[in-house]
Amino acid sequence: MKRLDHLKTEYGFTLAELLVACVIIAFVMAGLFVTLQTGQESYLVGSNQVEAQQTARMAIAQIVREVRNAGYCPTCTATPPFTAIAAQTGTGFTVQNDWDGDGAINTTGTVTDADGNVHGEQIVYAFSSGALTRQEVGVDASAVTLATGINSLTFTYQDSTGATTATAANIRTIVVTLTTQPQNQPAATQQGRVLVTMTDSVRVRNR
């Protein structure tokens, strides 16, 4: 009897106490989950944004470098007898350089400059189906892809006063506006979705 009486004095948890404890644990776990989810999303957004920015920077840097030097002519003492930028559209254009100094642009093959380097005198940039391509005529057998995952890419052409122009001979500045995304872009409802837009303008130095 004494043993049974001793057991009767050992109290456990009531159902109400157990339910309260479960609710408290659920609230704590929910808070931890939200914190973890927010941190993960911030990381994904940051890493995807860096990736997209890097793609945009590389593409624009390539364009800027070649447009800046467009219209090169080593023997011309006046304005060269050819346009620096040709075949311009909202999604592409052609850079022209007279590397051999003969006063004309070779539109099919390559030429050799004074230092013995081989060049194509036309470089064609084009944007289509999310990809930016570059082809040095005579050097590249086909267009080379510079960047993919591009949502939009537009080129705007300006004259010496900054006004938009459609005349190739009047082009002095090209404004590049590019919107891109990371290579593995999540769906609209998922975490880490980003779009990056960059704009840059480049002056044609040889005009």
pLDDT tens-digit series, residues 171-205? 999 999 998 877 666 665 565 567 788 899 999 98
pLDDT at residue 47, rounded to an integer: 64
Helix residue spans in 129-181 (DSSP H): none
pLDDT at residue 195, rounded to an integer: 77
pLDDT at residue 85, rounded to an integer: 95
pLDDT tens-digit series, residues 75-119? 887 778 899 999 999 999 999 999 998 888 999 999 998 889 999
pTM of the model: 0.74
> Which residues neighbour 97 within 8 Å (Cβ) at sequence distance 6 or greater?
69, 70, 71, 72, 73, 84, 119, 121
Locate 175 and state its tokens. Answer: 């404004």
Average pLDDT, the chain: 84
Distance between CA atoms of 125 and 143, rounded to whole angstroms? 9
Helix residue spans in the chain (DSSP H): 2-8, 15-68
Locate 70 and state its tokens. Answer: 């467009």
From the CB of residue 199, how many other CB atoms can be counted at a distance below 10 Å? 13
Instruction: Give residue 79's identity as a one-letter amino acid code.
Output: T
Ordered by start, the domain boundaries in the chain are 44-203
Locate 111 and state its tokens. Answer: 């030429």
Least confident of 11-15, 75-79, 144-148: 11-15
Q: How confident is the model at residue 70 (pLDDT cuts 50, 70, 90)?
A: very high
Q: Answer with the residue of higher pLDDT: 145 or 49.
A: 145
pLDDT at residue 147, rounded to an integer: 86
pLDDT at residue 169, rounded to an integer: 93
Distance between CA atoms of 149 and 184, rounded to whole angstroms? 9
Percent of the chain residues past pLDDT 70, beyond the cut: 81
Distance between CA atoms of 126 and 52, rounded to whole angstroms? 19
Q: Answer with the residue of higher pLDDT: 56 or 70.
A: 70
pLDDT at residue 184, rounded to an integer: 63
